[in-house]
Structures are given as structure tokens and as C-alpha cells.
Structure 1
Amino acid sequence: MTSLQPRSARARTSAPVAVEPDPRHRRPLVLATTLGGAFAAGSTLLVCLALAVVGWFLTDAGAHGTPSDALQVGALGWLMAHGAGVRIDGVAVTAVPLGLTALAAWATWRVGHRVGESVSGHGPDADRIGDGERDWTVPTAVSLFTTGYVVVAVVTTSLAATAETAPSGGRVLGWSLALCLLVGAPAIAIGAGRAAIWASLVPESVRATALTCRRILTSFAGVAAVVLLIAVAADLGAAATMVSRLHADAGATIMLVGLSLAVLPNAVAFSGSYLLGPGFAVGANTLVAPTAVVLGPLPLFPLLAGLPDPGPTAAWTAWLMALPVLVAAVATARSQRLRPTLRWDMGALRGCVAGVVAGVVVGIVAGLAGGAVGPGRMRTVGPFAFDAMVHAITAFGIGGLLGGLAMTWWQRRAARRAAVPVSPH
């Protein structure tokens, strides 16, 4: 967008040229942002409603219940993705299907980015912002975007809630606000071009630390996902046995696979807590960790086939706890290759601080991944979030410190070699 180009870029033009503002970047601010927030919420809601209706037809060809019942189930699934929790036959189910939450976050990001582009022509340009003029475009857009999202969430809660299901409207409101502020707001700022202006004011060390933190998190999530995949693949026969014991037809099997995908990020968080050491519980008084496995009766759910056998663990499984340290070290070193530094203190500080922040994020995600999934002992399912956070802060902090120091040494060594003159003989 011409109005938001840095001053130096526009100064290279040979003569001043009057540029008409692109109408695509000056959509009506109130209308575009409010409808954008409503569309971000409504798009994923429609997906959940459609899946629920398709599942209703697949399971019994519509012999039981009505389409309105299927729509209510889809709406409740969307509300559960926003932390609502529901009651099924009097039993509280508070676990959040993070797969649906991730879908809602993706839609919020994409729509927010488009909204930011459509209103980027409003407000002062980059020169006036650089001169200190206040710009309320993004705050206004975020507020209206959030309003549209929250309205859809409140209406859905009021229409889908019953005395029997009792979803929590307060939690839906809190999760909706969190999605709009943590995902939608950055997307709008980036789409509007303001994020690039603001980022130039942030110190380089802070930006490098943030990049390192993101790389640690994505690398660890990838490793945890691979470990989960290996564990499930190693016991595919047990998963198939679980499905056969349910006497599920093709339609029910497809729905079971869809449910597994909805909670796949939860399972990755369980796997990450396992690698960190504290492990997780699959029912009260149970433990799944590299050093011990204590299990009780389990529901017939395919992802549970990846659980290790109860009893003493193999000696090599304890070494899995070294993976988080190694992942953090490698991720920090790779990140520092993009933003090199020759100062020992900066290399160490970047890696250590990034590791600590990444550990806090992992602990928060571990806390969100668990909850009640059934009656009795199944009220306690999930990672041990606080212990996982402590272990993650320690492992990532040490790994980031070692990776930062190692890459600093390598870059200082390369700089000394480049400084030595080459003899012609």
C-alpha cells in the first residue's frame, strides 16, 4: 500500500505523483470489520453444523432424531471448541477439542488478515505515524471485529444451550475474546501494514528472541507429533480391535476418525508432556510417563492404542527426556544462523529467554489439553500441566542456552577465519 510505504522508499521516486487511494483498501471501517468478525465465527460454526448433519445421516441414515438435533450437536461442538463444556446424561465433559479450536483460530487469522487489508487505507500514512501522529485504525478494527465474533458466540450459546447440556456462556465469551485478541488482532495489524511499522521500533534482540521461541515451539510440537504417530502406528492392530469391538459400521467409523482428528492436538500435547517427563493421566490414579506406566480400564478410543503397556518401562525410555533439551538447542542454533551475533552474552540470553518463554507456553497448552471426558475416574484426563511447565522451562532454557552458546562460538570462529588474510603463496 502506497500510503504505508516507508519514507525512504518513496523518496527514490523522481517526482511527486498523486496516487489515488485504492478503494479495495478503504472499505467502510465499521461494516467491514464487524461483518468480518461475524464471518470468522460463523464460518467454523457452519462447518461444525454441516459435519454434525453428515454424521447424523452416516450413523443411522436419519432413523433416529431430527435434523434439528444434529444441528444442536454441531453447535455444541463449536461451543466446546470455545471452552464451553457440556453435560451429557448428567456427566460433565470439560475437555476442549483443540483441533476445532485450531480451525477457529485459522479462520480468525485468515479473515482478520483480509479485514486488515480492506481497511488499511484508513488513518494516517507511514510518514505521519513516524512523526508521532496517533493511529486508531487497528484498535478500532479489532474492537469491532471482536464485537462481531462475540455476537455470533452469544447467539449460538443462547440457541443451542438447554438445561440438560448447560454449556458455560462465560467460558465461551472468554475464549472468543482470547481468539480475537491473540489471533485476530495481530492478523488485522499485519494486513493493515501497521505491524511492519511497529516492528521496526522493536529492538533487534527482542525480535530475534521471539523468532527463536517460535522455532523452539514448532520444532517441539513436530517431534511430539512424530512420537505420537510412531506410538499409534506400532499398535495399529490394537486400534483396529477397538473399532471392531464397537461394532461400528462405515459411517460410525468415519465419525470416529473425525473425532480423533478433532482431539489430535490434545494428543500431541499429551505426547509432549510425556517427553518432558511428568507425563499425563488417563483416568484418576493413573500415570503414563517415561519412567512408569500405571493404567486402569480404558474407553474404546483408537488413539488410546498408542499408550505403552502398564508396568515397568524399558531402560531406554528414560532417555526420551533428553529430546526436549536437544530440540531446543538445535532450534536455537538454527534461529541464530538467520540473526547472527558475535556477543557471548547475547547468544546465551536469546536462547535462554526464548526457552523459558516457550516452556511457559507449553505449560499453558498442556493445561488446556485436559479435562473431564466421562463419569467416574474419567473426570481426570490430561497432562500434569504445572509439572510439564516446570520441566519445559528447565529443558528449553538449558537447551536454548547451550544452542545459543554453540552457535555464537561457531559464528565467532567463522568471523575470525574471514578476517585472516589469505597468503598468495
Structure 2
Amino acid sequence: MTSLLSAPRTRPVDARHRRPLWVAAPVAGVLAGLVALLPLVVVSLAGWYLADGGGHGAPRDALRVGALAWLAAHGSGFHVQGAAVTVLPLGLTLWSGWVVWRTGHRLGDAVSGHGPDADRIADGERDWTVPLATLLFAGGYAVLGALLTLAGDARTAPDGSRAVLVALTLAVLVGGPAIATGSGRLPVWVATLPEAVPATAAAAVAVLRWHLLAAATLLLVALALDWPSAANVMSQLGTSPSGTLSMTVASLVLLPNAVVFSGSYLLGAGFTVGTGTLVTPMAVVLGPLPLFPLLAALPDGGEPAAWTAYLLGVPAVVAAVGVIRAQRRHPTTRWDQGALRGCVGGALAALAFGLLARLAGGAVGPGRMQHVAPFASSALVYAIAAFGIGGLVGGLLATAWQRRRARASSPE
């Protein structure tokens, strides 16, 4: 807290910074939920109008679809003609998380002048501004989620309690750091941590980011190679403008899920697209599949080409690259520190990917399509091995390079 103690805090005087914390925080939480909801409602209204010029149904039906999409982004699931759809549309979840971050960051700036000043902090007074703002912000966001559960009925049957719980969790885990960053507290707190903590966290983030980038590249290449198949799917559906819009939106919101599936494939754990199916670099067993454009990226059934086995080395390589790049910002010349940061960072990235793999799957329809998911447990085990080894190698290589630079720059 040294930067807070260096000088008395200057409090902003504009109206936005004078708002009471107990008012500004819950209002910001509700606003974050509404901003995330707005484009979903707009797309739903557009689809309703394109279907038949608004000749059937009413605008409130489209509004209900937008609310159900918001709830699905927070894990509620829903039912279509009695079949459960429990898969989490990660595209919508990421959109909601981004809105929560931006709104939380603005809230943090608005409450930056609240709390004790430097003199009172020096006297030992606790600064509860960020925790209190986070709880109030999350409460407002969750209350909006509870109100949106009224959009469900006996036919759609979303799990409202789960949606509220996920909304509360998202607002705390994403909104809390955003508020701390916007208020200027987070850099102060990070400065008090041992250097190994932010360095290891940076390595973990870099490893996860590079692995997801490699997975996205593989997915896009597979789609490009089988683009005629994807176009053929759309032509077979013979969709109207409303159907085309719905199919396009569904593909976009499920694209992050497909990237996670691709990441599990790269690790060798693979995934299933229906009961009794298997897709890995070593074996592909498929059954009848629904008409959906993203499924065109699936490899052909049977024994894969021999070169696909080399894909299993990609996760370790990208983990090493991620750690090397992260260590540029957190240099060290000690072998033990470089090795530990890389290895632990890789393990943390593996845990994060295992969680993503757990969230990315679920039921997408009746019958055998009730099981469409990466093999999350296997992906976690394989990721710990691949990211841990790759991170260790990357940490040692980065340390060797930084030791060499240190010797070259030291005076004789």
C-alpha cells in the first residue's frame, strides 16, 4: 500500500465520482446485465421479423427468446420440444464477461475516491471499498438475472437458480478485478506480492492463450479445407432469411466451444459428438450427425492420416513459446526460478483449460446428442503433462537467454 501512503488521496469532484457507493454499485450491476441483454434482444427481434414480416407471434415472444439466450449464457439451459439443451454457449458467456469487465472498470473509477484516505490507512484502517462495491455490483447483476428467469415457462424450463448463481459468480470473479483495476487498488496490491506470483500467473495466461490460438488455427484450417461441406449443409437446410440468421448466430456463439473441442483434440484427449463416438488424432469414430456448419470441420471417420499424430506435440511447443514470451516481461537469471515459473504456470494453464473443457460440453438435443463434449478429465491430465513439460523447457530456455544477456551487458 506504499503508493497510497505516499500522499493524501485527491478525491474527484465531478458528479459521477460523488455518487454514493451503495447506489452506484448495484445500478452498475443492473446496467451491465441490460447492456449484455440488448444485442440478444435485437437479434431475436430481427429473426422474428425476417421469419414472416412479424405475421405470427408478437414482439414479446422475441423478447422472451433474447432473455432465454441471456439465461443460457449463464448456464440455465432450456428445453426445445421436450429435449434438454444444456451446453453453455461460450460466445455469449464471453460477451457477458466482457460487458461485466468494462462496466466494473468504470464503476471502479467512479468509486476511486471512496474509502479511507492515506492518513487513515496509515493508522491501520481497512479499505473495504472494492469488496463492498463488488458485492453490491454482483447483487445488482444477479437480481436482474432473477427477474429474467420469469421469461421461462413449462415448455422451455430454464434452470433459473443455476443462472442466478452463475451470474453472481461471473460478477464477482470478473467484476471484482475490474473494479479493483479501475479504482487503482489492484496495481498497489500486486506490488506487495512476491515477484514469483505475477510472473507465474503471466506464464499461465500466456500458455493458455497460445494453446487456444493453436486450437483456433486448427479449427479454421479444418473449416477452410471442408468449406464446401459447410456450404452444402446450409443449402440442404434451405433456410429462410430468418433461418440463415439463426444458423449464423448459433455458429458464432458456439465457435468458442468448438475452439475448446479443438484444444482437447490437440492434447490427444479428443471429444465426443454423440454417444458412442470418438474424435482424436489417433482414432475417429462417427455416427449420424445433425446438419450444422461447424461440424464440417470434423475429420472423416476411420483411421486418421499418419501425420495427425504429430499434432500431439503442438501443446508442449506452444506452452514453451508462451512461457518464453511471458518471461520477457518477468526476467530472471536463476535456473530454479525459471524452471518453477514455467512448470507451475503450465500446470495452472492446464487447470484452466480443464475447466473450459468441462464448461464447453453438454446436451444439444435428444437421443445420442445428449452427450457432446470434450473428455474433460483426460484433457486435464494430458494438459498437465504437456503444458508442464513445455513450460519447464520454455522457462529454462528463457533463463539461459537472459543469463547470456546479463553476462554480455555486465562490465568486464
TM over 0.5: yes
**Which residues in structure 2 correspond to 1:321-360 (within 5 Å)?**
321-360=312-351
Specify whether residues 19 and 289 from structure 1 end up closer, same or farther in structure 2 by C-alpha distance, changes over 3 A only: closer
Please name the residue that 1:409 is paired with.
400
Deviations 1:177-230 (A, max 9, x none): 111111000001111111122111111110111111111111111111111111
How far is 1:415 from its partner?
1.9
> Which of 384, 391, 406 is residue 400 of structure 1 equivalent to?
391
Provide the rounded CA distance (Å) in 2 between the counterparts of 1:91 and 1:336.
49
Please name the residue that 1:176 is paired with.
167
Provide the rounded CA distance (Å) in 2 between the counterparts of 1:54 and 1:66.
12
Please name the residue that 1:73 is paired with.
65
> Which of 116, 119, 126 is residue 108 of structure 2 equivalent to?
116
Provide the rounded CA distance (Å) in 2 between the counterparts of 1:394 and 1:345.
19
**1:150 is aligned to 2:139:** no
TM-score, normalised via structure 2 length:
0.96
Query: Tell me, what secondary structure is at the counterpart of 2:44?
Result: helix
Deviations 1:380-403 (A, max 9, x none): 001001111111111101100000
Please name the residue that 1:46 is paired with.
38
Write the letter of the residue equivalent to 1:52.
Answer: S
Deviations 1:146-178 (A, max 9, x none): 111111000110x21111211112211221111
Please name the residue that 2:354 is paired with.
363
Query: Tell me, what secondary structure is at the counterpart of 1:358?
Result: helix
Please name the residue that 1:270 is paired with.
261
TM-score, normalised via structure 1 length:
0.93
**1:206 is aligned to 2:206:** no
How far is 1:19 from its partner?
5.5
Farther-moved stretch of structure 1 (214-223 vs 235-244): 214-223
**Which residues in structure 2 correspond to 1:222-241 (within 5 Å)?**
222-241=213-232
Deviations 1:387-422 (A, max 9, x none): 11111111101100000011111211222233363x
Task: Work out the number of aligned pairs and report it.
Answer: 411
> Which of 38, 43, 49 is residue 57 of structure 1 equivalent to?
49
Provide the rounded CA distance (Å) in 2 between the counterparts of 1:225 and 1:54.
29
Query: Tell me, what secondary structure is at the counterpart of 1:278?
Result: coil
How far is 1:370 from its partner?
0.3
Please name the residue that 1:13 is paired with.
none
**1:385 is aligned to 2:376:** yes
CA contact (8 A) 2:85 2:365 kept: yes
**1:249 is aligned to 2:240:** yes
Runs (5+) with no aligned partner, structure 1? 11-15
Provide the rounded CA distance (Å) in 2 between the counterparts of 1:156 and 1:4.
44
How far is 1:59 from its partner?
2.6
RMSD over aligned CA atoms reads 1.7
Provide the rounded CA distance (Å) in 1 between the counterparts of 2:343 and 2:185.
30
Query: Tell me, what secondary structure is at the counterpart of 1:281?
Result: strand
**Which residues in structure 2 correspond to 1:135-146 (within 5 Å)?**
135-146=127-138
CA contact (8 A) 1:26 1:120 kept: no
How far is 1:130 from its partner?
5.5
Deviations 1:225-252 (A, max 9, x none): 1111111111110001100100113332
Provide the rounded CA distance (Å) in 2 between the counterparts of 1:20 and 1:108.
25
Please name the residue that 2:82 is paired with.
90
**Which residues in structure 2 correspond to 1:304-323 (within 5 Å)?**
304-323=295-314
Specify whether residues 19 and 260 from structure 1 end up closer, same or farther in structure 2 by C-alpha distance, changes over 3 A only: closer
